[in-house]
Amino acid sequence: MGKGQPLSRAFFEQLLDGAQGKADVATLPWEPLSQFLEQVLAIVAAEPALIEWAPRATVVVGDTHSDVQTSNAVLDAYPSTPLIFLGDYSGRCQTRFDDVRNCLLLFVAKFLNRQQLILLRGNHEDEHVCSDNGLRQSLREIYGSSLGESAWRQFVAIFHQLPLAVSMGDLIILHGALPQVASLDELRRLPKGGSFCDHPLITQILWNDVSTRDALVENERCPGSLVYGRTTLSELLAAVGKKVLIHGHNFSAKGVGADGADICLYTCTTYFYLPRGGPSDPTDVQMPVPGNLLAHYDGQETIEVRTMPAFHLGEIPLLQVTIPRDGPPHATYLHSWRSNLFHFFHERGKKQ
């Protein structure tokens, strides 16, 4: 198959079967896969660093970290709903080659639904992180040292071109936390195509954390990044004209903080259970929420934080953030017999 020729239906079926685990991903032929990756690169390279959507009903998905089963479940559950994935698609792989599968599945979803699905960049979507998080080694095992390295470089090229943030109504959506900017224009002008090491604001977008401690300090997780609390978050949200930050990146901060201004999502089964809350493993959020989390925005004034189906209970709303037009957001836990059962099973499973 020469470059420029349309990819065959048979290849796409093989690609989807491999990504979903129905077939061995290691049997994917290299030449059409390379051509497919070039086409995905062209799609994401055409997107701006800051995507600006008019408010609409949207589902936001947290870090998936090689959890291809969860990614597939989200895509199956919401075939026609706009979706925003918050980044960190590889790394922390529990099953051999699921890091490759998860990336390929999301690339296919983007290819087929490019206007309705956004893949944001996370800190793992960088050459300096995904060279050591297992993805590079997985591709080398599949294709051998030389072709595997070529495949990894194509993955990296796509990662470096992913958009960095979404602006939608009162919401700003990105991977880590807001950087120190004075206006939304600074996000619009951010470059794409390189490592976060090349740009301080991109480092902050991908690595910043929000904390329950109301202070502004350097982040030990990455030089040049910050950890801050409610006061700084409020100032940065005001600078970009927003009321709520939706982000991922920190599994110990799953839930809602700052009375609803901070929503942190993780959508990865490895981090289904909340930390036990001991001195060495605190839950760094005001209102912790367990489960594989999704944020359902109604396009108006309400965001529901839900857990994906678990314990045979279906998808369950656990917390609601309301964003009044004339005031700050506020958050409340949602109580139902299903949510009560979910919390019971979560606590029992966490102790085992």
1 within a domain of the structure (yes/no): no
Domain CATH number, residue 136: 3.60.21.10
How many residues are listed for the chain in this entry?
352
Looking at residue 252, its pLDDT comes to 87
Q: Which amino acid is at 251?
A: F
In a domain, 266, yes or no: no
- Residue 325 domain flag: no
Give yes or no for residue 276 having a pLDDT over 90.
no
**Confidence band for 4, pLDDT divided at 50, 70 and 90:** low
pLDDT at 156 over 50: yes
pLDDT bracket for residue 279 (50, 70, 90): very low
pLDDT above 50 for 247: yes
Q: Is residue 160 part of a domain?
A: yes
Burial class (CB in 10 A: 0-12, 13-18, 19+), 351: exposed
**Domain count of the fold of the chain:** 1
What's the pLDDT tens digit per position in 67-118?
999 999 999 999 999 999 999 999 999 999 999 999 999 999 999 999 999 9
> Which residue, among 88, 156, 72, has the nearest Cα to 121 in the 3D structure?
88
pLDDT at 313 over 70: yes
Mean pLDDT, the chain, rounded, equals 95
| Whether the Cβ atoms of residue 305 and residue 317 lie closer than 8 Å to each other | yes
The per-residue pLDDT for 302 is 99
| Sheet of 293-297, strand order | 117-119, 83-85, 58-61, 293-297, 302-307, 316-322, 330-333
Question: What is the rounded average pLDDT of the residues 177-192?
Answer: 98
- Place 246 in a pLDDT band, splitting at 50, 70 and 90: very high
- Which residues, in sequence order, are CB contacts of 62 under 8 Å at separation 6+? 86, 248, 254, 264, 265, 266, 267, 268, 292, 293, 294
Domain extent, residue 101, equals 9-249
Give tens-digit pLDDT for 336-346.
999 999 999 99
- Helix 98-112 and helix 68-77: axis angle, to 10°? 20
Residues 325-349: what's their mean pLDDT?
Answer: 95
In a domain, 223, yes or no: yes
Average pLDDT over residues 140-151: 97
pLDDT over 70 at 251, yes or no: yes
Asked whether 176 and 208 are in contact (CB, 8 A), the reply is: yes
Q: What is the pLDDT of residues 50-64, one digit of tens each?
A: 999 999 999 999 999
Task: Kindly state whether residue 145 falls inside one of the protein's structural domains.
Answer: yes
Position 6 scores a pLDDT of 85
Residue 22 lies in a domain: yes
**Whole-number percent of the chain with pLDDT over 70:** 96
Tokens of 311: 């314990």
Which helix (H) or strand (E) segment holds residue 256: the answer is strand 255-257
Q: Which two tokens stand for residue 48?
A: 């701006």
> Helix H segments across 58-174?
68-77, 98-112, 127-130, 135-161
254 with 293: CB under 8 angstroms?
yes
In a domain, 225, yes or no: yes
Say what the pLDDT of residue 1 is.
46
